[in-house]
Amino acid sequence: MPSSVNRTVSGLILGPILGIESSCDETAAAVLDADGRILAEAVLSQEREHAPFGGVVPEIAARAHLAHLPGLVRDVLARAGVEIAAVAATAGPGLIGGLIVGSQFAKGIAIARRLPYVAVNHLEAHALTARLPGLVEGGAAFPYLLLLVSGGHCQCVAVEGVGRYRRLGATVDDAAGEAFDKVGKLLGLGWPGGPALERLAAAGDPARYKFPRPMLGRAGCDFSFSGLKTAVAQTVARLPPGALPVQVAADLAAGFQAAVTDVLADRASHAMAMMRGQASLLVVAGGVAANQAARAALQAAATAQGFRLVAPPIRLCTDNAVMVAWTGLERLRLGLEDGIDFAPRPRWPLEALAP
Ligand code: KG4
Ligand code: ZN
């Protein structure tokens, strides 16, 4: 079917859709055709704006979204070269300033062009990414298991359908990416810490410093990372004052990364055991899914549990607008349109989506 052809589903016209993401520090826009094929996409990271502050500054993020979104949307619409038939924007959870910017921008387009509007839950967007056409051979049919490991979230979720999520376990303190960022800071790396820490760990000996593996073997699939972060901090505090020798920093990074990957593989294994007989697909998403050691450990865990691991390409694991547009399509296919009065929600757990 040509990409500009519209189809009617549940009384709604389904055609190309514009998606907007602005919940944290990535400004993103994408246009997908009615079948979910990507016609144009763009992501603008604000990493450089926030790096001097060692983390995301909400006010700076909101202003950056406001500055960049119009150009980004104009660009993807021009490159897609189709008339859009719907608009979707992340409406939560996330930083309220950015959510307001993205939602109001999307609503403005929806009102001006008389198009349906979908208020997308960012976590649902991560959860449904695996269903994008072409990503999983034969498609990712419900139900499947999602391991979401980002800077703000760390949870195992049974994905049972659009709007139907069962949380199997989650972190009781820090998210996995947050732990990478905090330990990165301890080791004198820039922000975000994850990618730099992974590079440093490549030259390190993971056995030199043995760190705890919180929750390992514990029933269920909850996570905890704050004790691990404290253990690294205490080890650093015992070292001679001054800058860390490069090899010491690399060994600390490798030891920490090994502990995190052991924990992720163990918790995911428990989650897979909890879903045995119901699902056979493990999908990993979020920035930490970019970590090669984590991917390898999860691959081994999935194989041992008789599951197939799906790790989307990294640009679709981290925050993007393709997943937002796709979630818009999934919801519109079910006739789920939102009112223009839908207020963005800084907190919006997946369970709250249940019909
Ligand atoms: O999903 P994401 O882009 O944004 C949200 O937090 O929603 O994830 C960012 C997080 C950061 O904490 C970052 O340090 C971590 O993902 N991260 C990594 C890697 N790349 C990004 N952590 C470990 N290894 C990586 N290669
Ligand atoms: Zn995210």
Is the Cα torsion angle 264, 269, 274, 280 positive or negative in sign?
A: positive
Residue 318 in contact with ligand 1 by CB distance below 6 A:
yes
The Cα 75–Cα 205 span in angstroms is: 46
The answer to whether residue 197 scores a pLDDT higher than 60 is yes
Ligand sitting nearest the alpha carbon of 183? 1
Best substitution site from 288, 295, 324, 348 to test ligand 1's pocket, by max atoms within 8 Å of Cβ? Answer: 288
pLDDT score at 6: 56
Give me ligand 1 centre to Cα 5, in Å: 37
Distance between terminal CA atoms of the chain?
Answer: 31
pLDDT tens for residues 256-279?
999 999 999 999 999 999 999 999
pLDDT score at 176: 97
Residue 195, CB half-sphere, CA atoms under 13 Å: how many?
9
Residue 194 in contact with ligand 1 by CB distance below 6 A:
yes
Average pLDDT over residues 110-119: 97
Kindly report whether the peptide bond that precedes residue 93 is cis, defined as omega within 30 degrees of 0: yes
Residue 198 in contact with ligand 1 by CB distance below 6 A:
yes
Residue 180 in contact with ligand 1 by CB distance below 6 A:
yes
The Cα 334–Cα 331 span in angstroms is: 5
pLDDT score at 5: 46
- Residue 286 CA: which ligand 1 atom is closest? 1
The Cα 235–Cα 300 span in angstroms is: 30
Residue 177 in contact with ligand 1 by CB distance below 6 A:
yes
Strands 7-9 and 144-149: unpaired
User: Helix or strand or coil: residue 355?
Assistant: coil
**Which residue is it, tokens 């030891």?**
255
Percent of the chain at pLDDT exceeding 70? 96
The Cα 322–Cα 307 span in angstroms is: 26
Best substitution site from 150, 264, 317 to test ligand 1's pocket, by max atoms within 8 Å of Cβ? Answer: 150
Give me ligand 2 centre to Cα 246, in Å: 32
Residue 33 in contact with ligand 1 by CB distance below 6 A:
no
The Cα 105–Cα 23 span in angstroms is: 13
Give me ligand 2 centre to Cα 148, in Å: 9
Ligand sitting nearest the alpha carbon of 126? 2
pLDDT score at 7: 55
What phi and psi, each to the nearest 5 degrees, are found at residue 86? Answer: -160, 160
Residue 288 in contact with ligand 1 by CB distance below 6 A:
yes
Average pLDDT over residues 70-74: 98
Nearest to 151 by CA among 19, 61, 32, 248: 61
**Residues 211/228, Cβ–Cβ less than 8 Å:** yes
Residue 36 in contact with ligand 1 by CB distance below 6 A:
no
**Residues 39/19, Cβ–Cβ less than 8 Å:** no
Ligand sitting nearest the alpha carbon of 45? 1
Residue 157's beta-bridge partner residues? 146, 167
pLDDT band (50, 70, 90) for residue 2 = very low
Is the Cα torsion angle 90, 95, 100, 105 positive or negative in sign?
A: negative
Ligand sitting nearest the alpha carbon of 287? 1
pLDDT band (50, 70, 90) for residue 13 = low
Pairwise pLDDT comparison (211 vs 49), residue with the higher score: 211
Residue of the nearest CA to atom 14 in ligand 1?
Answer: 194
The answer to whether residue 120 scores a pLDDT higher than 50 is yes
Residue 290 in contact with ligand 1 by CB distance below 6 A:
yes
